[in-house]
Structures are given as structure tokens and as C-alpha cells.
Structure 1
Amino acid sequence: MSEALKDKAQRSLYETDFASWLDYTAQLLREKRFHDVDLDHLIEEIEALSRRDKREIRSRLIVLLLHLLKYRYQPQNLSQSWLQTIVEQRRQLDLILEDSPSLKNYMSEVFAACYLKARTEAAQETQLDIAVLPDVCPFTQVETLDSDWLPRQNLRRHDD
């Protein structure tokens, strides 16, 4: 089969049966048939994996910070599901960082921005005035990820 036909067949497989394309690409790599690998799509997929992990970190961090804020600023509404969400988000973030320790640096880079998104969501969900929630995250990144830590509950009453 000519190189042009092989390339066309691989590109078609990529577009019609992604799982088969992955298996075939892995086989080519194991066999060290690098010249037969669909490099453009392989590069695209590797970059997508990195973006996916980063997106998951941001998403889980926002949910975690949101629930820590709710825990701190609305203790009267505390539910077991909030605590379970805090535990689960920490566990999932820990698994991601265990697999890819370098993403801890990425988490540090996006921590403040994730807090601002969590703050906005917390104000909407709790119907608290956003001014009640600090402009800067009241929790450190270490505290946020620490499975043994929960924020001090703010027991003051917040009137509208």
C-alpha cells in the first residue's frame, strides 16, 4: 500500500472509529513503526489529554472551593452532601496530582481565578451578598487540599 493510501486510511479510521485508531496507533508505536504513525492526530490527542487534566483540575477546584465557602458562611445549612462533595473533590484532585505531580504548579497558577469563580457561584447559590465573601481566597491551597482540614465556620448572621 502506498504511503498516501496508508495516510488516508489512518485519517479515515481516526474520523470513523476513534477507539480502533487508538489501538492501531499504539500497535504501530509498540512495533516502532514510527513512519506509519498518524503524527498530526497523535499530537492533537496528546495535547488534548493535557488540556483535559487541566480543565478537570479547574473544575474540581472550583467545586471544592465553592463547598468550603458554603461550609464556612452558611453553617446553618450544612448537609452531609456538602461534606461528601468536599471529600470527593479532594480525593479526585489528589489522584490527578498523584498521576501528574507537575500539575501542582498549574493548580497554583489557577488557584486565585478558580476561587473568584467559586465565590461568584457561592453568592448565587447561597443568596449571600457577594461582599460577604472575601475578594481573596480565605483558605490556602494547602488547607484546601488537606483532607483533615475544614474552615472555621462563620456563625455571624448575615442580613441582606
Structure 2
Amino acid sequence: METIISSGKTDSQTLYETDYLEWIETIVEKLRSENYAHVDWENLIEEIEDMGRSERRSLESNLIVVLLHLLKWQYQPESRSGSWESSIIEHRRRIKKALKESPSLKPYLERILAECYGEAVKQAKAETRLPLEIFPIQCLYELEDVVDDEFLPE
């Protein structure tokens, strides 16, 4: 049975703050043994919510990188490099893996395309030193092209 610490927190809550991995192992053991009364539900729910946010942030970050390199590829053809193409391939792979593992992320990806494009344009301007006006305001690329391994803009 869990003891209560003077602060009013249970051992499990304190463990969450001091040793995250051990807290996870403890929670998993309690769930496996169906000891639901002693599960740190508040922190467990928060962690599950954070996992969803983390997946979306990762998807957004990978999308921005692909868009950035597609823009650089299109607007600085004289500077095209294997590292740009490699980055496009790698971040496309990450996007596709996330969508394969969580197909429910696809509508989110569609919703954030325009916003991520805007972020990619800002970064492309900074990295290429090209004027902002060079880059179209609206995203040039269809989502299908963004994740298509064969697509590179000309």
C-alpha cells in the first residue's frame, strides 16, 4: 500500500517528479496487475495527452523541413546538393512512418500544411538570402507531392 508523504503527495507522484523511468515502470506494473486504485491517474493522463501533442509537433517539424528544402531546391537550383535531397528523403520517411503508425494524423497534416508552408518560407528566406517576395504566399505543393519520394520541383 502507498504511503502518503507530508506534502500530501503519494510516493507515486513524488516518483514521477524524481525518476520518470521508474515511475513509468511502476505504473505499468500497477496496470498489469490491475491495481487501478494505486495508479497515478493524474500524471498518467497528462503523459498520454503529451504523447499526442508530441506526435503532432514532430509531424509539423518534419513537414516544415521538407517544405523548406523543396523551396530551396526550386528557388536556388544552382545550390542543389545531395544533403538537401537527403534531408527531403529522411523527413519524408519520418512523415510517412508517423502516418503509417497513426493514420488519424493525416487530417491534421492537411490542416497544418499552409501554416507550415509559411514557416518554411520564412526559414527559406533566411537561409537563401532571397527576397521574401520571391516565394509565393500560397503553398505551391500538394500534400501528395510533399510526401512523394519521386517529387522534386523544377
Is the pair's TM-score, using the shorter chain for normalization, greater than 0.5? yes
**Equivalent residue, structure 2, for 1:137:** 139
Q: 2:65 aligns with which of 51, 63, 66?
A: 63
- Residues 110-149 of structure 1 aligned to structure 2 (within 5 Å): 110-149=112-151
Q: 2:76 aligns with which of 44, 62, 74?
A: 74
Q: TM (normalized to structure 2)?
A: 0.94
Q: Displacement of 1:151 after TM fit? A: 1.0
CA distance in 1: counterparts of 2:62 and 2:2, whole angstroms: 47
Q: Displacement of 1:124 after TM fit? A: 1.1
Letter in 1 for 2:80: L
Is 1:32 matched with 2:34?
A: yes
Is 1:53 matched with 2:55?
A: yes
Letter in 2 for 1:110: I
CA distance in 1: counterparts of 2:113 and 2:35, whole angstroms: 42
Q: Displacement of 1:2 after TM fit? A: 5.6
Q: Displacement of 1:123 after TM fit? A: 0.9
Q: Displacement of 1:30 after TM fit? A: 1.0
Q: Displacement of 1:68 after TM fit? A: 0.2
Any stretches of 5+ residues in structure 2 without a counterpart? none
Q: Deviations over 1:81-126 (max 9, x none)?
A: 0000000000011111111110111111111000000011101110
Q: TM (normalized to structure 1)?
A: 0.91
Q: Which segment drifts farther, 26-35 or 77-86?
A: 26-35
Q: Displacement of 1:47 after TM fit? A: 0.6
Q: CA RMSD in A?
A: 1.5
What is the number of residues matched between the two proteins?
152
- Alignment identity in percent? 39
Partner SS state of residue 102, structure 1: helix
Q: Displacement of 1:4 after TM fit? A: 4.0
Partner SS state of residue 83, structure 1: helix
